[in-house]
Amino acid sequence: MKLTVQDLNSHYGPAHILFDIGFEVGEGEVVALLGRNGAGKSTTFRSIVGLVAQRTGRIMFEGKDVSACPTHEIVREGLGYVPEERRIFTDLTVEENLEVGRQPKRPNAPYWTREKLFTLFPNLGEMKGRPGGRMSGGEQQMLTIARTLMGNPSLVLLDEPSEGLSPKIVEQMVDAILTMKKEGVSIVVSEQNLHFARLISDRAYIIERGRICFGGTMAELDARPDIRDAHLSL
């Protein structure tokens, strides 16, 4: 297994947010983490990379227990994280944003150069010197993904990549994610949009009120409209 999460519990102050979250991601797999707003998707990701201080449980990445490691060490192991709110550095140019994400080449992961990323996201190549603050939402979203790929991760946590994007950009996003998969990057993608998830994922987990309440292939999920309706539709 690429990534195994077991008994993950997280708190914000006195509030218990995640309850015994557990899931697995195989080598080269794209796994969707589905759930409504506030179900705990982003907290799950933030907990995995160590950005939530109060958390317990085991996080095995490539056979190593990383649950006690600080954020930057987890990321340096090759576990990339693309946050939900984009969080690009608005004062920095596109190239400088990419520079912040740059990490050395890793033997078991695809190697991304600026040029390669500019082929994956042609828009970015046309605005290398533009400050992040003067980019559209879709361009910013591409930049966050490209920035994380500069760290040559073998697995990426993608938090709601389609949120707030126009259909045309969403299409580009699907292509980009499929290219990443083809290169050999394992991906966990959190989504509210089942349609988007279906286009890219091999398997899916559903999270509701901080608990995993379904896990299976996309076909298995389609076979259970009751679950889909109970936990996903608006």
Partner 1 sequence: MAFYVVQFLTGLASAASLFLVASGLSIIFGVTRIVNFAHGAFYMIGAYIAFTLTERFSGAFGFWGGVLVAALAVALIGVLVEMVLLRRIYHAPELFQLLGTFGLTLMVEDLVVLIWGPDDLVGRRAPGFKGAVDFFGQNIPSYDLFLIALGPVVLGILWLLFQRTRWGVLVRAATQDRDMVAALGVNQKWLFTSVFAVGVFLAALGGALQIPRDAVHHAMDLRIIVEVFVVVVIGGLGSIIGAFVAAVLVSELNAFGILIFPKISIILVFLVMAVVLIVRPWGLFGKPEAPARKTPGLTVNPWRPLTSNERLAALAALVIAATLPLFAGNYALTVGSEIAIFVIFAVSLHFLMSVGGLASFGHAAYFGLGAYGVAFLAKMAGLPMIVCLLLGPLLGCMGAAVFGFFAVQLSGVYFAMLTLAFAQIVWSIAFQWVSVTGGDNGILSIWPEKWAASPSHFYWLALGVAALVTIALRIAVFSPFGYALRATRDSVLRSEAVGINAKRIQWTAFVIAGTTAGIGGALFAYLKGSVFPDNLGISLSVDALVMVLLGGVETVSGGVIGAIVYKALNIWLVSQTDLSKLVLGGFIVLIVVVFPKGIVGMLELLAQRRRKSSPPGSSLLAKPIESTE
Binding residues vs partner 1 (CB under 8 A): 11-16, 49, 51, 54, 70-73, 75-76, 81, 83, 87, 89-92, 96-97, 99-103, 147-148, 151
Q: Which is nearer to partner 1, 44 or 148 (CB)?
A: 148
Smallest separation (angstroms) from partner 1 to the CB of 225:
32
**Which helix (H) or strand (E) covers residue 115, if one does?**
helix 114-120
- E strands within 13-113? 15-25, 30-34, 54-61, 64-65, 79-82
- Using a 10 angstrom Cβ sphere, with 0-12 exposed, 13-18 middle and 19 or more buried, the burial of residue 15 is exposed
Q: Which is nearer to partner 1, 87 or 116 (CB)?
A: 87
Segments in 184-233 forming alpha helices (H): 194-200, 218-222, 225-231
Q: Which is nearer to partner 1, 187 or 194 (CB)?
A: 187
Smallest separation (angstroms) from partner 1 to the CB of 202:
25
- Axis crossing angle, helix 137-149 with helix 167-183, rounded to the nearest 10: 10
Q: Which is nearer to partner 1, 59 or 232 (CB)?
A: 59
Smallest separation (angstroms) from partner 1 to the CB of 172:
23
Q: Which is nearer to partner 1, 159 or 194 (CB)?
A: 159
Smallest separation (angstroms) from partner 1 to the CB of 108:
16
Smallest separation (angstroms) from partner 1 to the CB of 47:
12
